[in-house]
A and B are shown apart, each in its own frame.
Chain A
Amino acid sequence: MHAMAFDLSIPSHLFHAYLPDLILMGGGMLLLLWAVWRPESDAHARSTGWAAIGVAVLALVAVIWEWQVGFTAMNGPIAVDPFRWATDAVVLVGTMMTLAIAMDFNGRMKMPTAEAHVLVLLSASGMMLVAAARDLMVLFLGIELMSVSVYVLSGIDRRSARGAEASLKYFLLGAFSSAFLLYGIAMVYGATGSTNLVTIGEQFATPAVATQPIMVIGLALLLVGFAFKIAAAPFHMWTPDVYDGAPAPYSGFMACAVKAASFAALVRVCLEAVGPGSERWHLALWWLAALTMVVGNLFALQQRNVKRMISYSSIAHAGFLLVAVTAQTTEGAAAIIFYLVAYTLATLGAFAVVVALNEGKDGATDIGDYSGLWTVRPGLAMAMAVFMLALLGFPLVGGMGFFAKWYVLQAALKAPAPQTKLSIVLVLATVVSAGFYLYVVMVMFMRPRPEGASVPPGASGTLKFVIAASVAGILFFGLYPSPAVKLAQQAAAASFVPAASRVVAAPAANASP
């Protein structure tokens, strides 16, 4: 398993450890040149899109290779462990799906901007940096690289006022949250003298450091920064407007890939730097999780605009994922990986259906357009039903969604301090979520198609493939999740500099395994 431990101070080793990220970044840069080389045209945008998917595939191959060989590295600025690779894989799958959806969408919207595809790649490379970061500075760099590209992507449709609004709003609030994050990093550095997570973790184990006001405030600011990025309540206000205003493929990208990377970083901070010893940190996560689940689901209930509904649903899912973070175990980390796969497939799949039903107009996606969809586009309606039931967490027909929720539940209940109350909040929030997920299903299957309503245009080949592949993945892992579970378990168990050992050494530790 441990083929080779990198010494990250040696440049060739560092290069090796960064290989997938470098492929993506380098490919993105080259592709950027190619994208602006030629005048804008649909054909050019498409070929750039295909090339971008190719680069993502290459990066994915590199990720899988590094994962397979099982390289490791200790205590450098970046982590080399299966958890990173698993997160990278989720991000890259999300990236490829986004690119495929965007190729169709941009054609529909008469928006032949080839550089959009490149921006997706650059953003993805930022995400991979975030997933790798074992140093708060690297983390910050990654988050900025990821976010700046996404700010542009949300306003990439230059004719859309809603897009511009979304972009500006996202930029302002994103900058705000970056400030929080940076300030938090500075304070943590002040308290511990390091930005390296493992060193911070060692320092944190001594109560004198852990209870210092500057450390407490620093961690609080750090958490606020994370909460902005993962769209956890009460720091979620920007989400619905941005997701609604941005072009649909990029809303999906933000809802899935951005969230996946941010969660990976949060998990790493939780397990390596803070550890399960801190009562305050745990309490903060607890309330963040509970509030996010309640707010996300209750607000989603009132939406009649499909994109807005999925936005609030993505907030709700951040809450469900936070439950697994709150467990503060490697089992919780495994649950998060598994959950992110299911969530990415279902959410991007749902956005693909939204795009497939778009007739080239820029505006709210009213649920009324979905009335009786089943009678005119049965395939799309059934796929959408699978995505909705997967997001609801229903077994078999919702496929992987059920096991995702189940995994989070069991991680929360199996933790050294079982999160029983939080589990019950999760379950009740899920019942509320049935209200809006089933509403979409009901509208599609049980409402009649209004007289004279136009038949929505069919999906193009790429879009059909994305939808079919997501459905297939969700259903297959819903019937037989073992392979994915095994990978997630191994990834989480073999990663992280064990915080538990440090906790035992610390007298302040209150949770014994």
Chain B
Amino acid sequence: MRGLLQSLHYAQWILPVLLLLPMLGAAVIWIAARPAEHEDDREYGESQISRDIAIGVLLLEFVLSMGLWWAFDPAQPGWQMVVDFPWLAEWGSRFTVAVDGISLMMVLLTTFLMPIAVLGGWTSVRHKLRTYYALFLALETGILATFLATDLLLFYVAWEIMLVPIYFIIGIWGGERRIYASIKFFIYTLIGSLMMLVAIVVLWRYTGGTTFAYDAIMAAAPRTGPAALWLFGAFFLAFAIKVPIFPFHTWLPDAHVEAPTAGSVILAGVLLKMGTYGFLRFAVPLFPDVVMIPWVRDGVLTLAIIGILYGALVALVQTDIKKLVAYSSVSHLGFVMLGIFAFDEKSVLGAQMVGISHGVSSGALFLLVGMIYERAHTRQIAAYGGIARAVPMFSAALALVAMSSIGLPGTNGFIGEFLVLIGTYNVFPYIAGAATIGVVLGAAYLLWALQRIIFNPLSNPENSTLSDLNRREVAVMGVIAVTIIWLGVAPAGVLDRLRPASAALVERVHGGAAAPAPMPAAPAAPGGR
């Protein structure tokens, strides 16, 4: 396979193509679906062509990106498939994209979840389809650019730009409180990211104002002192809001609940991972000495534990299924943060694994919630009960996905949580103990919800006439089920690709082989008046 890809010069064109293709698709949709839009945008079905184009582009994108799996050399920890164009010569910013193990998995997760989200939410959006699908494709470009950029200014632009499509997706096609949710989401994210912008400018000054290249910035960044601490703080804020770490999570339940199904899937599946990716890519490696300051590290670990427990406890008392799933994200992302800040090789690997499997499982849960909502038009748990008899396929899928979210051995959820727990145990046994309570609580809220939704007696007679999953939905859930089992049984392929970059990260933090950064000539310490 690799030989075939090499003969196609795959590594030289794949990343720009992945970024360009969705934009082109969006333009095609915008043009091709034009007339129907103006006739009557409420008339569903008029502009379905936009949906067909969108899914075609997304599937093509997924197929193309699959090549990365083989073209990527797992033995090599550095950047691969680098593509570099000049961009802003005056400021030294370049259009540089590349992958390493950490971003590779995020890219594949994105290209995998995008078509799944669209297929799963096939009929959930019923007006202004053209704009919706064009925005969805633009969103994919934004997300991929965020994961691929190795130039900090480019990264910042990508990080901000993907806010726009998701803002409109929530705000136009969302639920009742969509406007509130979308503005809250936007402004929360903006606070953090603008602070990060200031930090990026300051870091750029440390290079003498010559370059935004990741490696150069990493070499020039201050390692210790108040400057490093403040800079880390700015990055921390941006990523902590995105992850979200408790107490920055309050935008999440609103945004996830109000978004249309496909939007929720992408929000939970991919956008949250942008926060954890930010920690792995920027906040931690740029400031390895800051994250090892005891109060910083303990502080983040404490917030992670609070997030795990708080998210699970709040999920336990939810009466709305979608809210329950949203709060379960807070809990799962706490595991990711725990794994990262334990700085053990296993825990960092596990953290990324939790991230990937949360993307699949949580995305699948949002899809299932969307499917049942389209049938019964309610998300209240109390309105269901015993529907396993009426919709057996749906119930089976829900049970499987719930098990993977709980972390049942043999499913994807188990691998990550287990690695995080044993990795953390090596360093902080008590914290690992506390996190285990989170696992138990996770089982509690999901199993209890399962019991109330699909088991118990069928109390509501209206539910007996619900139709089961149709062929499209079965296919989508089938793909997800295969992924869940595959990641649970044979995670080695993924772990192998994640390992070198993760090991390098851990080594850098523990100050092993990381070369001491040469300080540039005379950067005045930021501060001043």
Residues of A within 8 A of B (CB): 282, 286, 375, 389, 394-397, 402, 406, 409-410, 413-414, 416-424, 427-428, 430-431, 434-435, 438-439, 442, 445-447, 480-482, 485-486, 489
Shortest B159–chain A CB gap in Å is 9
Considering the complex, give the chain A residue whose CB is closest to the CB of B195.
A427
- Quick one: which of B90, B91, B205 contacts A413, CB cutoff 8 A? B205
Considering the complex, give the chain B residue whose CB is closest to the CB of A389.
B164
- Quick one: which of B182, B197, B209 contacts A414, CB cutoff 8 A? B209
Beyond A413-B205, A442-B183, A446-B179, whether A427 also contacts B198 by CB under 8 A is yes
Beyond A397-B161, A417-B528, A421-B529, whether A410 also contacts B187 by CB under 8 A is no
Considering the complex, give the chain A residue whose CB is closest to the CB of B188.
A431
Beyond A395-B157, A410-B201, whether A419 also contacts B182 by CB under 8 A is no
Q: In this assembly, does B248 line the interface, its C-beta being within 8 Å of a C-beta of chain A?
A: no
**With a CB–CB cut-off of 8 A, which chain A residues contact B528?**
417-421
On whether the beta carbons of A442 and B179 are closer than 8 Å, the reply is yes
Bound Cα distance A251, B216 (Å): 47
Considering the complex, give the chain B residue whose CB is closest to the CB of A484.
B90
On whether the beta carbons of A435 and B187 are closer than 8 Å, the reply is yes
On whether the beta carbons of A431 and B187 are closer than 8 Å, the reply is yes
Q: In this assembly, does B409 line the interface, its C-beta being within 8 Å of a C-beta of chain A?
A: no
On whether the beta carbons of A434 and B197 are closer than 8 Å, the reply is no
Bound Cα distance A445, B183 (Å): 13
**With a CB–CB cut-off of 8 A, which chain B residues contact A445?**
168, 171-172
> When each residue 161-184 of chain B gets 1 if its CB lies under 8 Å from chain A and 0 otherwise, what string results?
100100110011000001100110
Bound Cα distance A394, B162 (Å): 11
Q: In this assembly, does B4 line the interface, its C-beta being within 8 Å of a C-beta of chain A?
A: no
Q: In this assembly, does B191 line the interface, its C-beta being within 8 Å of a C-beta of chain A?
A: yes
Q: In this assembly, does B8 line the interface, its C-beta being within 8 Å of a C-beta of chain A?
A: no
Beyond A427-B198, A445-B172, whether A420 also contacts B526 by CB under 8 A is yes
On whether the beta carbons of B161 and A413 are closer than 8 Å, the reply is no
On whether the beta carbons of A286 and B88 are closer than 8 Å, the reply is no
Bound Cα distance A302, B23 (Å): 37
On whether the beta carbons of A395 and B156 are closer than 8 Å, the reply is yes
On whether the beta carbons of A423 and B198 are closer than 8 Å, the reply is yes
**With a CB–CB cut-off of 8 A, which chain B residues contact A394?**
160, 164
Bound Cα distance A509, B303 (Å): 48
Bound Cα distance A358, B400 (Å): 58
Considering the complex, give the chain B residue whose CB is closest to the CB of A331.
B209
On whether the beta carbons of B198 and A395 are closer than 8 Å, the reply is no
**With a CB–CB cut-off of 8 A, which chain A residues contact B125?**
none
**With a CB–CB cut-off of 8 A, which chain A residues contact B182?**
442, 446
**With a CB–CB cut-off of 8 A, which chain B residues contact A442?**
171, 179, 182-183
On whether the beta carbons of A482 and B88 are closer than 8 Å, the reply is yes
Q: List 7 A-B contacts (CB under 8 A).
A: A410-B204, A418-B524, A421-B528, A421-B529, A427-B195, A431-B187, A438-B187
- Quick one: which of A410, A427, A481 contacts B194, CB cutoff 8 A? A427
Considering the complex, give the chain A residue whose CB is closest to the CB of B142.
A396
Considering the complex, give the chain B residue whose CB is closest to the CB of A394.
B160
On whether the beta carbons of B529 and A417 are closer than 8 Å, the reply is yes
**With a CB–CB cut-off of 8 A, which chain B residues contact A418?**
205, 524, 526-528
Shortest B381–chain A CB gap in Å is 29
- Quick one: which of A282, A397, A419, A431 contacts B190, CB cutoff 8 A? A431
Bound Cα distance A375, B42 (Å): 11
On whether the beta carbons of A485 and B88 are closer than 8 Å, the reply is yes
Beyond A395-B157, A446-B182, whether A431 also contacts B527 by CB under 8 A is no
On whether the beta carbons of B171 and A446 are closer than 8 Å, the reply is yes
What are the 7 tightest A-B residue pairs by CB atom distance, in nearest-first order? Answer: A427-B194, A395-B157, A446-B171, A418-B528, A485-B90, A417-B528, A396-B161
Shortest B201–chain A CB gap in Å is 5
- Quick one: which of A419, A446, A482, A486 contacts B178, CB cutoff 8 A? A446
On whether the beta carbons of A419 and B529 are closer than 8 Å, the reply is yes
Number of A-B contacts (CB under 8 A): 100
**With a CB–CB cut-off of 8 A, which chain B residues contact A485?**
88, 90-91
**With a CB–CB cut-off of 8 A, which chain A residues contact B160?**
394-395, 402
Considering the complex, give the chain A residue whose CB is closest to the CB of B153.
A406
**With a CB–CB cut-off of 8 A, which chain B residues contact A282?**
529
Given contacts A409-B197, A431-B191, A447-B179, 20 further A-B contacts (CB under 8 A): A394-B160, A395-B161, A406-B201, A409-B201, A413-B201, A413-B205, A417-B528, A417-B529, A418-B528, A420-B527, A424-B195, A424-B198, A427-B198, A431-B194, A434-B187, A439-B183, A482-B89, A482-B90, A485-B90, A485-B91
Shortest A304–chain B CB gap in Å is 16
Shortest B7–chain A CB gap in Å is 34
Considering the complex, give the chain A residue whose CB is closest to the CB of B157.
A395
On whether the beta carbons of A438 and B186 are closer than 8 Å, the reply is yes
Considering the complex, give the chain A residue whose CB is closest to the CB of B179.
A446
Q: In this assembly, does B41 line the interface, its C-beta being within 8 Å of a C-beta of chain A?
A: yes
**With a CB–CB cut-off of 8 A, which chain B residues contact A489?**
90
Considering the complex, give the chain B residue whose CB is closest to the CB of A286.
B529
- Quick one: which of B157, B178, B201, B209 contacts A396, CB cutoff 8 A? B157
Shortest A414–chain B CB gap in Å is 6
Considering the complex, give the chain B residue whose CB is closest to the CB of A442.
B179
Q: In this assembly, does B495 line the interface, its C-beta being within 8 Å of a C-beta of chain A?
A: no
Considering the complex, give the chain A residue whose CB is closest to the CB of B90.
A485
Beyond A397-B161, A413-B205, whether A427 also contacts B527 by CB under 8 A is no
Considering the complex, give the chain B residue whose CB is closest to the CB of A415.
B528
Greatest chain A CB density within 10 A among B156, B198, B209 is at B198
Considering the complex, give the chain B residue whose CB is closest to the CB of A443.
B179
Shortest B149–chain A CB gap in Å is 12
**With a CB–CB cut-off of 8 A, which chain A residues contact B205?**
410, 413-414, 418
Bound Cα distance A406, B152 (Å): 13
**With a CB–CB cut-off of 8 A, which chain B residues contact A286?**
529
On whether the beta carbons of A434 and B186 are closer than 8 Å, the reply is yes
Greatest chain A CB density within 10 A among B88, B90, B171 is at B90
Bound Cα distance A325, B196 (Å): 23
> When each residue 241-262 of chain B gets 1 if its CB lies under 8 Å from chain A and 0 otherwise, what string results?
0000000000000000000000
Shortest B106–chain A CB gap in Å is 21
**With a CB–CB cut-off of 8 A, which chain A residues contact B71?**
none
Bound Cα distance A420, B230 (Å): 11
Q: In this assembly, does B391 line the interface, its C-beta being within 8 Å of a C-beta of chain A?
A: no
On whether the beta carbons of B190 and A413 are closer than 8 Å, the reply is no
Q: In this assembly, does B202 line the interface, its C-beta being within 8 Å of a C-beta of chain A?
A: yes
**With a CB–CB cut-off of 8 A, which chain A residues contact B186?**
434, 438
Shortest B184–chain A CB gap in Å is 11
Chain B 499-529 residues near chain A, CB threshold 8 A: 524, 526-529
Greatest chain B CB density within 10 A among A424, A442, A485 is at A442
Shortest A487–chain B CB gap in Å is 11
**With a CB–CB cut-off of 8 A, which chain B residues contact A420?**
198, 202, 526-528
Shortest B141–chain A CB gap in Å is 10
Shortest A295–chain B CB gap in Å is 19
**With a CB–CB cut-off of 8 A, which chain A residues contact B171?**
442, 445-446
- Quick one: which of B91, B172, B187, B526 contacts A446, CB cutoff 8 A? B172
Shortest B358–chain A CB gap in Å is 28
Bound Cα distance A49, B471 (Å): 65
Considering the complex, give the chain B residue whose CB is closest to the CB of A435.
B187
Bound Cα distance A417, B201 (Å): 15
**With a CB–CB cut-off of 8 A, which chain B residues contact A423?**
198, 201
Bound Cα distance A419, B89 (Å): 24
Greatest chain A CB density within 10 A among B89, B156, B161 is at B161
Bound Cα distance A182, B87 (Å): 47
**With a CB–CB cut-off of 8 A, which chain A residues contact B527?**
418, 420
Bound Cα distance A393, B187 (Å): 13
Chain B 404-425 residues near chain A, CB threshold 8 A: none
Shortest B20–chain A CB gap in Å is 14
Considering the complex, give the chain B residue whose CB is closest to the CB of A416.
B524
Bound Cα distance A402, B190 (Å): 13
Shortest B312–chain A CB gap in Å is 31
Considering the complex, give the chain A residue whose CB is closest to the CB of B178.
A446
Shortest B140–chain A CB gap in Å is 15
Bound Cα distance A413, B227 (Å): 13
